[in-house]
Structure 1
């Protein structure tokens, strides 16, 4: 398995796609029920393959991810060959996880208590694996507005 198995909730949300995936392998609902009951390892393998297909599709389409903590923000732009990072650190007592703190940062990006660092690097391994690792460590997929806003400020 390349990534991790989808959660039960994710499978439920993708039940139609999973049914189609099974149908491409000539497995209907009745046969799937039988496989789950009589061959749980085969069922697990099918779920793992489907999970990898879904993750690969999602990660390939992911262009931006972000990670917020109380006093810092890491913004990433995930291109094909390299990843760009903008790291923002706040040096006074504010919580960026709260709406008030986030709004303060967006309105005061050049304040003396805001430190912004920018860098880029090629991927060390496969792109999607590195993006997946960042998501597993708490980053969220985003549309990139915050990255682009700070990118224009520091360019």
Structure 2
């Protein structure tokens, strides 16, 4: 397995897609229920394969991810061959996880208490795997508005 199995909630929300996936393997609902009951390891394998397909699709389409802590933000732009990062550190008691703190940062990005760094690196393993690792560590997929905002600010 390349990533991790989807959660029960994710499988529930992708119920139709999973049924289609099983149908491509000539497995109908009746047979699927039998496999789950009599061959749980085969059912697990099918769920793992489907999970990898879904993750690959999502990660391939992902262009931006963000990770926030109380006093820092890490914004990533994921190009085909390299990842660009804008790291923001606020050096006073502010909470970027709260709306008020985040709004303060957006309005005061050049304040003396704000350090902004920029960097880029080529992927060391596999693009999708590196993005997945960021997500597993708490990053969220975004549309990139915040990355682009800060990118324009710092030139």
CA drift of 1:89 comes to: 0.1
- Give runs of ≥4 in structure 1 deviating > 4 Å: none
What aligned pairs does 1:73-84 form with structure 2 within 5 A after superposition? 73-84=73-84
Let me know the Cα RMSD of the aligned residues: 0.3
What aligned pairs does 1:58-69 form with structure 2 within 5 A after superposition? 58-69=58-69
Post-superposition CA distance 1:106-145 (Å, at most 9, x none): 0000000000000000000010000000000000000000
Matched, 1:124 2:121: no
Give 5+ residue unaligned stretches, structure 2: none
Matched, 1:46 2:43: no
Partner of 1:98: 98
CA drift of 1:83 comes to: 0.1
What aligned pairs does 1:1-155 form with structure 2 within 5 A after superposition? 1-155=1-155
CA drift of 1:33 comes to: 0.2
CA drift of 1:45 comes to: 0.1
- TM-score with structure 1 length normalisation? 1.00
Distance in 2 (alpha carbons) for counterparts of 1:118 and 1:134: 17
Distance in 2 (alpha carbons) for counterparts of 1:104 and 1:154: 17
CA drift of 1:36 comes to: 0.1
CA drift of 1:37 comes to: 0.1
Distance in 2 (alpha carbons) for counterparts of 1:125 and 1:119: 18
Post-superposition CA distance 1:71-112 (Å, at most 9, x none): 000000000000000000000100000000000000000000
SS in 2 for 1:26: coil
Give 5+ residue unaligned stretches, structure 1: none
